[in-house]
Amino acid sequence: MGHPLGQYTIVWPIARSRYIDAMTLATIAAASGEEIVPLDITRADRSVFHALLTARAEFGGKTVALVDGDERTLTYNDLTQASFALGHALKKGTRSGDAVGILLPTSAGAVIAFFALSAYGRVPAMLNFTSGVAGLKSAVRTAQVRRVITARRFLKLAKLEELVSGLRDLVEFVYLEDVRANLSLTDKIAAVVGRLLPGLVACRPGEDAPAVFLFTSGTEGEPKAVALSHRNLLSNAEQVRSHLAIYRTDILFNPLPTFHSFGLTVGVLMPLMLGIRDVLHPTPLQPHEIMRRIKASGATILLSTDTFISQYARAGEPGDLSSVRLAVCGAERLREETRALLVRKQGLELLEGYGVTEASPVIAANQPGANRHGTVGHLMQGIEARLEPVEGMPNAGRLQVKGPNIMLGYVLAGRPGIIQPPPNGWHDTGDIVSIDEEGFITIRGRLKRFAKLGGEIVSLAVVENCASALWPEHRHASVAVPDSRKGEQIVLVTTCPGASRADVLGWAQDHGVPEIAVPRRIVHVDEVPILGTGKTDYVRVQSLAAERLQEQSLYAAASNQN
């Protein structure tokens, strides 16, 4: 039974009898000879670069901070000195506060470029190189990016030369290979002075100044720029740290892109601030190599999505993930068949979390000892939440959140460079959720991921769940398209060649799912389009469904004429 909804219902703090709080985590940690510090948001009262300097002082400059994709290691000294040198070279031709693009894979180069810009008061804009020329043009215009940092080797390996050609009329490209080869004596002196006396070199932007521009994935429309402050990023890293038992002896493996907030905040900033080794991998699309590196590195924490971790499990051998004690999945719904596969083949229990870019990104997550399947766990500490009632959705509501990790605001394509803050600090996620008496949150779907058929609301996620239960080895996506009779009709796009409406209808009747949730049409495809983050690309799915339905209509019309 969920909380009754009035106009609004405040759902935090609430009763949390199964919630693993900071005190319990500290007890668990003590039993392992480790120490867990309770939530301390004051650790976010600094810039991200000064947080890195603090970590270097706390954990030691010679401590290994990063392991790159080629197994090259970088210490905190290496990272800070390289950031000072590169930042001094890159600041020429830009001003403090300017947005500078980063077009790089998850790598030491991307991390150094991020901190190099931050050290001198520039704002990194993390560009999604999988979004195509049109998406990147929109991004650089919106954030007013005039310079982009990239690497020739990466562009060649990723075959992105045409993408760069399409952007040359808007931005100047700066190649890391050229910058490194042409570092001046002044740049090198800045690196040495910065390492020894960082306070003389590094800028000190306020903690509420923009720290990064990220871009919404555009799964259902044109991407927006999200401005996150230094406080936003560091608060969320601190919230995640206090929510899970993370030890200094942990090793985190991060194959997620740094243009995605999960990959940036939890995959890069959090481990660096905690002094735990961060193993980076340039792409999540290499399951065999990723499994090899996880095993070789002895990684204890793995970040992934449902799409990617199911591929890793199938690619690996039993025991390859034996070192992993925390596997946290976000960005998309975690399917039960993925859970079962990881338990069966690797003996690994997955923790599902939930977040949005606008929250830096983590809002909620399950925990060891409090992992309820089908939910995304409890809210992070320090986040307030409220539910706005939605017609036709009893005991659920539209989730709105407020807290230190909530964005400065959006920058829209129609008003480039202007940050529009969320009203009174509340961000409307657009997600429909229910929350039980113990505080576990269940995602019922996105408001835009609902179809309205003859006045009734149907969750498109339910349609996908039915298909996944029938054909767990295949990918499925459902969309709503216009219908002359009922306003909209549901179309299922699937990679299962034998999928039929009759099968879905039979399953729905056997499991108590209303017939209205059965797709009217089924479109068979070789692949369901996905974004670089692993999420389903619903914009492309919608177009694909419309094209296939049009083709089917034309074929039917031609057949009738014959």
Q: Residue-wise pLDDT tens for the chain (562 aa)?
A: 344 444 444 444 433 333 444 445 555 455 555 555 556 666 767 889 999 999 999 999 999 999 999 999 999 999 999 998 888 888 888 888 999 999 999 999 999 999 999 999 999 999 988 877 878 888 999 999 999 999 999 999 988 888 888 899 999 999 999 988 888 787 777 777 667 766 656 677 788 999 999 998 554 456 689 999 999 999 999 999 888 888 889 999 999 999 989 999 999 999 999 999 999 999 998 999 999 999 999 999 999 988 889 889 888 888 889 899 999 998 777 888 888 888 888 888 899 999 989 999 999 999 888 888 889 999 998 898 988 887 767 788 889 999 999 999 999 888 888 999 999 999 999 888 988 888 899 988 766 676 766 556 677 877 888 888 888 888 898 888 876 565 678 889 999 888 888 888 888 877 767 777 788 888 888 888 887 667 787 768 877 888 887 776 654 554 555 4
| Nearest Cα to Cα of residue 79 among 41, 107, 43 | 107
What span, in angstroms and rounded, lies between the C-alpha atoms of 212 and 397?
31
Task: List, in order, residues 6 or more apart from 203 with CB less than 8 Å away.
Answer: 47, 49, 96, 119, 120, 121
Task: Give CA–CA dist 417/474, Å, rounded.
Answer: 42
Ramachandran assignment for 468, one of left (phi > 0), alpha (psi -120 to 50 degrees), beta (any other): alpha
Residue 139 one-letter amino acid: A
Give domain status of residue 556, yes or no.
yes
> What letter represents residue 23's amino acid?
M
Tell whether 371 and 504 lie within a shared domain: no
125, 142, 209, 357, 418 from 137: Cα distances, Å: 13, 8, 25, 20, 17
In a domain, 2, yes or no: no
- With beta carbons less than 8 A apart as the criterion, state whether 345 and 318 touch: yes
What distance in Å separates the CA atoms of residue 286 and residue 294, rounded to the nearest whole number?
12
- The residue length of the chain stands at 562
CATH of the domain at 463: 3.30.300.30
437-to-1, 17, 351, 368 alpha-carbon distances in Å: 7, 9, 20, 19
Contact 425, 461 (CB under 8 A): no
Separation in Å, CA 101 to CA 105, 269, 481: 13, 18, 36
Dihedrals phi, psi of 483, to nearest 5 degrees: -140, 130
Residue 449 lies in a domain: no
Whole-angstrom Cα Rg for the chain: 24
| Residue 427 sits in the same domain as residue 473 | no
Say how far apart CA 362 and CA 351 lie, in whole Å: 13
Q: Alpha-carbon distance 383 to 385, whole Å?
A: 6
Full-model pTM: 0.78
Same domain (yes/no): 181, 320: yes
**Residues 6 or more apart whose Cβ sits within 8 Å of residue 415:** none
Range of the domain at 22: 9-435
Give the three-state DSSP class for 234.
Answer: helix
Residue 557 lies in a domain: yes
- Report the distance separating Cα 253 and Cα 351, nearest Å: 15
DSSP string computed for 117-182: HHHTT-EEEE--TTSHHHHHHHHHHHTT--EEEE-HHHHHHTT-HHHHHHHTTT-EEEEHHHHHHT
Q: Is residue 447 part of a domain?
A: no
Contact 251, 301 (CB under 8 A): yes
- In the numeric block, which tokens belong to residue 113? 């470029």
Contacts of 64 (CB under 8 A, 6+ apart): 73, 74, 75, 277
- Whether the CB-CB separation of 269 and 258 falls below 8 Å is answered with no
Is 241 a member of any domain?
yes
Residue where one domain finishes, among candidates 408, 435, 462:
435
Number of structural domains the chain divides into:
2
Same domain for 201 and 61: yes
Please indicate, yes or no, whether residues 267 and 126 belong to a single structural domain of this protein. yes
Residues whose CB falls within 8 Å of the CB of residue 350, separated by 6 or more in sequence, listed in order: 309, 327, 328, 329, 334, 338, 339, 342
The residue out of 374, 400, 435 marking a domain boundary is 435
Q: Is 6 exposed, middle or buried (CB count within 10 Å of its CB: 0-12, 13-18, 19+)?
A: exposed
User: Scanning the structure block, which residue is given the tokens 């709105």?
Assistant: 400
User: Do 387 and 496 belong together in one domain?
Assistant: no
3 within some domain:
no
What's the CATH number where 113 sits? Answer: 3.40.50.12780
In this structure, the answer to whether residues 159 and 251 fall within a common structural domain is yes
Q: Same domain for 387 and 521?
A: no
* Measured distance CA(193)–CA(210) in Å, rounded: 26
Q: Is there a single domain that holds both residue 174 and residue 222?
A: yes
On whether both 351 and 255 belong to a single domain, the answer is yes
Residue 23: how many other CB atoms lie within 10 Å: 10
Tell me how far apart the terminal alpha carbons of the chain are, to the nearest angstrom. 58
Task: Please give the Cα distance from 282 to 68 (Å, whole number).
Answer: 8
Q: Are residues 360 and 464 in the same domain?
A: no
One domain, residues 514 and 429: no
In a domain, residue 223? The reply is yes
CA 292 vs. chain centroid, Å, equals 24
